[in-house]
């Protein structure tokens, strides 16, 4: 079981320790909000949007069955008028990958977005080489909607970005019923 709790200042150093290179940071978070190396002031600024009323982003630390923090996830770019948001910055702790932990993390955030915030559409961007993330998102029910070719420069490389989305009715058909309590 994986539960979500709000990401706070107490989580900053652990998250910083999970990001060990610029490439990994861009893979995880894109190149808009953060610059490598990740720092506490960057994370303080990041949380300002979460502290707004109403929040523009909801940021969570994932906790495993033993109570150990095992990941990070965000529902960002929340636009209540347009009923849309983005699933962003999904990260499973390096030592905990490959065990299926991302699935309940993603599902909990989708439930929050579609059922708690009554959103119509949740989208995400993922780099084309990121097979584990793409597989996790497809399994959660996201649909591939587009490809932004060579959209991100990292060092001397250019990465393709895949756009994926899920609609409220797709969520309701797949996971929306009988999914247990929301741990967020
Ligand atoms: C992407 C990430 C969140 C996936 O979390 P996870 O809990 O380790 O993933 P899972 O164990 O649920 O595996 C997801 C799927 O990827 C597959 N997978 C795992 N590692 C893989 C790899 N190296 N290559 C290809 N597929 C892989 C799994 O078999 C699984 O496939 P399935 O859904 O068909 O069973 C995690 O790897 C991570 O934190 N990566 C670094 C940060 C990142 O890239 N975040 C995504 C930003 S968009």
The CA distances from residue 94 to 18, 40, 101, 150, in Å, are 7, 20, 12, 27
Query: How far is ligand 1, taken at its centre, from the CA of residue 145, in Å?
Result: 20
Query: How far is ligand 1, taken at its centre, from the CA of residue 72, in Å?
Result: 14
CB 36 within 8 A of CB 30: no
Query: How far is ligand 1, taken at its centre, from the CA of residue 79, in Å?
Result: 28
Q: Within 6 Å (CB) of ligand 1, which residues are found? A: 27-28, 90-92, 97-103, 126, 130-133, 135-136, 139
Q: Domains along the chain?
A: 3-173 (3.40.630.30)
CB 70 within 8 A of CB 13: no
Query: How far is ligand 1, taken at its centre, from the CA of residue 88, in Å?
Result: 15
> Can you give the pLDDT of all 184 residues of the chain as single tens digits?
899 999 999 999 999 999 999 999 999 999 999 999 999 999 999 999 899 999 999 999 999 999 999 999 999 999 999 999 999 999 999 999 999 999 999 999 999 999 999 999 999 999 999 999 999 999 999 999 999 999 999 999 999 999 999 999 999 998 654 444 444 3
CB 159 within 8 A of CB 91: no
Phi then psi for residue 172, to 5 deg, are: -65, -40
CB 80 within 8 A of CB 26: no
In the chain, DSSP assigns E strands to 3-6, 58-63, 69-79, 84-92, 121-127, 143-154, 157-167
Query: How far is ligand 1, taken at its centre, from the CA of residue 131, in Å?
Result: 7
Other Cβ atoms within 10 Å of 46 Cβ, number: 20
Nearest C-alpha neighbor of 69 from the set 44, 93, 89: 93
Instruction: Please identify, by atom number, the ligand 1 atom nearest to the C-alpha of residue 91.
Output: 39
**Whose Cα sits closest to atom 22 in ligand 1?**
132
The CA distances from residue 23 to 18, 38, 56, in Å, are 13, 12, 26
């Amino acid at each position: 079981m994986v539960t979500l709790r709000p990401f706070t200042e107490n989580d900053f150093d652990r998250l910083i320790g999970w990001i060990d290179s610029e490439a990994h940071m861009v893979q995880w978070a894109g190149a808009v909000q953060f610059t490598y190396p990740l720092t506490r002031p960057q994370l303080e600024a990041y949380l300002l949007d979460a502290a707004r009323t109403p929040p523009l982003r909801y940021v969570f630390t994932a906790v495993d069955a033993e109570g150990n923090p095992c990941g990070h996830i965000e529902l960002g770019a929340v636009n209540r008028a347009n009923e849309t948001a983005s699933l962003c910055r999904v990260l499973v702790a390096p030592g905990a990958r490959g065990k299926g932990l991302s699935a309940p993390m993603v599902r909990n955030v989708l439930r929050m977005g579609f059922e708690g915030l009554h959103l119509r559409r949740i989208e995400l961007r993922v780099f084309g080489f990121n097979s584990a993330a793409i597989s996790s998102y497809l399994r959660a029910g996201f649909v591939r909607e587009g490809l932004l070719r060579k959209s991100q420069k990292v060092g001397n490389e250019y990465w393709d970005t895949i756009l994926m989305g899920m609609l409220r009715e797709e969520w309701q058909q797949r996971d929306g019923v009988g999914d247990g309590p929301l741990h967020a």
